[in-house]
Chains A and B, each alone.
Chain A
Amino acid sequence: MIVAVASGKGGTGKTTVAASLATIWDGPVLGVDLDVEEPNLNLFLHPVIAGSEMAHMTVPMVEEAKCTYCGACSELCQFKAVSVFNQVILIFPEMCHGCGGCMAICPEKAISPGQRELGEISWGRAGDVGFLSGRLRIGEAMSPPLMRRVKARLDQMLAVTGGDAIIDAPPGVSCPAVNAVMDSDVILLVTEPTPFGVYDFKLAWEAFTPLGKPMGAVINRAGLGNDAIYRFCREKGLPILAEIPYDRAIAEAYSRGRVIAALSPGLEATFVTLRDEIRDLAKPSRSREAAHA
């Protein structure tokens, strides 16, 4: 089972929840940081890194001696990664989305595959918890290509070890966020009961609902704000799987890079219950009542 921990608004507690879940999981589990633009799961799991590799994508390289400046590549490219001006062909590798169309369409075979560095993928272990993370190269504009490579490695790792994965997703509802949740079995939406939290939660619910995956809410900083988030969840039939109290001790533990499930027996119980609720949610055939009987 792959659990994606996502949110509309940033800073609601995705990493806090992902790290705690991974720590209390019973059975083989991988903590995966797919927030490649600002990975921070490592700050809480403190993994020992066993290996890493640079990830690349294929971008065009032109052999200008072969180019007749016909402009077929330039006309095809929707991202202006290849542009032909009279007797000059320009390549902007950072604009390329990697479709390979320019190489396929070039009648002179003047365009060959080159590489653009996307970032680094690293993996290791934090005690019983496996760890996998991507880190985008500074200056790289697109995160989904690197995320796809991290997910490919996740599939390889799960094929060897079996077990489950907890994905720490990037915030928001744009391509990177959708990319992080689209291959999961369950989506957890972490939010806070503030107006900003509620507004972005609705956006996330709208963005992810068409994926047709089981979804549940975790309300962090419960006790803050108002009851709008509870009303929205009730209205949409979205189960609230856990509430984490608004508590200074939690903020202090977070600021020291600690996993909050280890902070008190009460918090540990919250995450153990959350884990069981997630398992229930992932099995839509089994009714919730039967599962608790």
Chain B
Amino acid sequence: MTMIAVTSEGPSLDDLVDPRFGRAAGFVVVDLETMDIQYIDNGQSQVMAQGAGIQAAELVARAGVSCLLTGYVGPKAFKALSAAGIKVGQNLEGLTVRDAVERFKSNQVEIAAAANRPGR
């Protein structure tokens, strides 16, 4: 069973990928075999003054995903996701969650080697 998480502006496959990771509205967690989904709300990270990316990384790590698809990831979040063994696919803003997942399934998402946003 392979699970991936996608930052999302809403709870469905047809919502748009939220470009932000740490302050994403939530995460759509997709089982790639069955395409079953579950939604994790990220409100508790959004309200943090600092450390939203680290907390968001804790949330997706707890969901047991092996990969995260999103728009931008900062350096602290990237470090945390790497520590959790989660691969990161970036620059997917503008797509729907479904399109991002399809792109991943057809091996068109490059796995990032580093953060693509400066830290704050």
B24 at the interface (CB under 8 A from A): no
Are A80 and B61 interface neighbours, CB within 8 A? Answer: no
A86 at the interface (CB under 8 A from B): yes
Q: A81 CA to B55 CA in the complex, in Å?
A: 10
Are A92 and B54 interface neighbours, CB within 8 A? Answer: yes
A48 at the interface (CB under 8 A from B): no
Are B85 and A83 interface neighbours, CB within 8 A? Answer: no
B50 at the interface (CB under 8 A from A): yes
Closest A-chain residue to B75, C-beta based? A92
Q: Which of A85, A88, A141 contacts B50 (CB 8 A)?
A: A141
Q: A90 CA to B79 CA in the complex, in Å?
A: 9
B residues within 8 A CB of A95?
50-51, 54, 76
Are B51 and A80 interface neighbours, CB within 8 A? Answer: yes
* 8 A Cβ contacts from A52-101 to B: 74, 79-81, 83, 85-86, 88, 90, 92, 95
Are A83 and B58 interface neighbours, CB within 8 A? Answer: yes
Query: Looking at A80, A90, A95, which has the most chain B CB atoms within 10 Å of its CB?
Result: A80
Q: A86 CA to B58 CA in the complex, in Å?
A: 10
Q: A85 CA to B79 CA in the complex, in Å?
A: 11
B113 at the interface (CB under 8 A from A): no
Are B84 and A85 interface neighbours, CB within 8 A? Answer: yes
**Known: A80-B50, A95-B50. Is A86-B85 also a contact (CB below 8 A)?**
yes
* 8 A Cβ contacts from B29-77 to A: 48, 50-51, 54-55, 57-58, 61, 76
B83 at the interface (CB under 8 A from A): yes
Interface residues on A, range: 10 to 19
Interface residues on B, range: 10 to 19
Query: Looking at B54, B58, B61, B84, which has the most chain A CB atoms within 10 Å of its CB?
Result: B54
**Known: A79-B50, A90-B80, A141-B50. Is A85-B61 also a contact (CB below 8 A)?**
yes
Are A85 and B57 interface neighbours, CB within 8 A? Answer: yes
Q: A6 CA to B107 CA in the complex, in Å?
A: 58
Q: Which of B48, B50, B57 contacts A83 (CB 8 A)?
A: B57
B residues within 8 A CB of A86?
61, 84-85
A residues within 8 A CB of B58?
74, 83, 85
Are B83 and A88 interface neighbours, CB within 8 A? Answer: yes
Q: A141 CA to B85 CA in the complex, in Å?
A: 28
A residues within 8 A CB of B48?
80
Residues of A within 8 A of B (CB): 74, 79-81, 83, 85-86, 88, 90, 92, 95, 141
Residues of B within 8 A of A (CB): 48, 50-51, 54-55, 57-58, 61, 76, 79-80, 83-85
Of the A-B pairs whose beta carbons lie under 8 Å apart in the complex, a sample of 15, sorted by A's number, is A80-B50, A80-B54, A81-B51, A83-B54, A85-B57, A85-B80, A85-B83, A85-B85, A86-B61, A86-B84, A90-B54, A90-B79, A92-B54, A92-B76, A141-B50
